[in-house]
Copies of this chain bind each other. A is one copy, B any other.
Amino acid sequence: MTGRLAIVGIGPGSPEQVTPEARAAVENAEAVFGYGPYLDRLDIPAERKNPSDNREELSRAESALTRAAAGQNIAMVSGGDPGVFAMAAAICEAVEHGPTQWREIDIETVPGVTAMLAVAARAGAPLGHDFCAISLSDNLKPWEVVERRLAAAASAGFVIALYNPISRARPWQLGRAFELIATILPASTPVIFGRAAGRSDERIETVRLDKAEAGMADMATCVIIGSPETRIVERPGRTPLVYTPRFFPEAAR
């Protein structure tokens, strides 16, 4: 008998940003797997929660698939959206390399509001035109690949959202990324540090690229680096609006 595995995005943090579909998937599951702090957000009985540590994605995926293959209705939660640097890829990877019967499991992914969208919403519209999302973690890819992608994106005029910008084990990568990008983009390019968007401890800060420092971010921060087109609209008594226009300056309007 084959069960079900829902891979569920619970959004950036506020319960008001959890979709009804995600809420139902969590409530209907017999057991819910995920990184501890994400499970802490859920209002379900403790005995259904199966927390695990941050760096255990693959073993967490395998545990959930094993239970689903045995016929249970399982949910796996990710903060934000599960498809963006999160559990959906780990589950697919486990299915590819796991026992054949895992391919028979009814797997459904429930999308959510990913961090860069929540941070962008607080700042204005920095992702209003072409943009990219890069994980700054070099745990699973060589740092040269990260640098090549940063340089390609900045040179081609993409706004850049950085996920996993910094951690105790990866203290220097974000500073190096700012240095690299400063060789390509103007010093005045806006850089947004967005932490805990939509939560009570939210902190959104915008600085110029030449004032951006790695120490302004932590593990829970999403960093958005503007393109040469990104603009700042000052407002009296309000935070400025940071936005990237829909049009390119040379295009006919």
Contacts and interface: CB of A to CB of B under 8 A. Distances in A.
Interface of A: 9, 11, 14-21, 24, 57, 81-86, 88-93, 95-96, 103-104, 106-107, 109-114, 117-118, 120-122, 124-135, 138-142, 145, 148-149, 152-153, 155-158, 231, 233-238, 241, 243-248, 250-251, 253
Main SS at interface, chain A: mixed
B142 A149 contact: no
B157 A117 contact: no
26 contacts: A9-B117, A15-B20, A17-B111, A18-B19, A81-B113, A81-B121, A83-B117, A83-B120, A84-B117, A84-B128, A88-B128, A89-B125, A89-B245, A91-B125, A92-B125, A92-B231, A93-B245, A96-B231, A109-B121, A109-B125, A111-B120, A113-B113, A140-B246, A142-B250, A149-B158, A152-B155
Contacts of A11: 19
B85 A128 contact: yes
Contact of A16 (B20, B134, B153, B248): B20
Contacts of A139: 251
A109 B122 contact: yes
A56 B111 CA distance: 29
A116 to B, nearest CB: 9
A128 B17 contact: no
A253 B57 CA distance: 13
Nearest to A249: B141
Given A93-B243, A145-B157, A84 B127 contact: yes
Nearest to A58: B246
Given A109-B121, A122-B109, A246 B90 contact: yes
B89 A128 contact: yes
A82 to B, nearest CB: 8
Given A19-B19, A103-B235, A140-B253, 17 more contacts: A9-B117, A11-B19, A16-B21, A17-B111, A84-B128, A92-B241, A93-B246, A103-B238, A104-B238, A109-B121, A109-B125, A111-B120, A130-B132, A130-B133, A132-B153, A149-B157, A153-B156
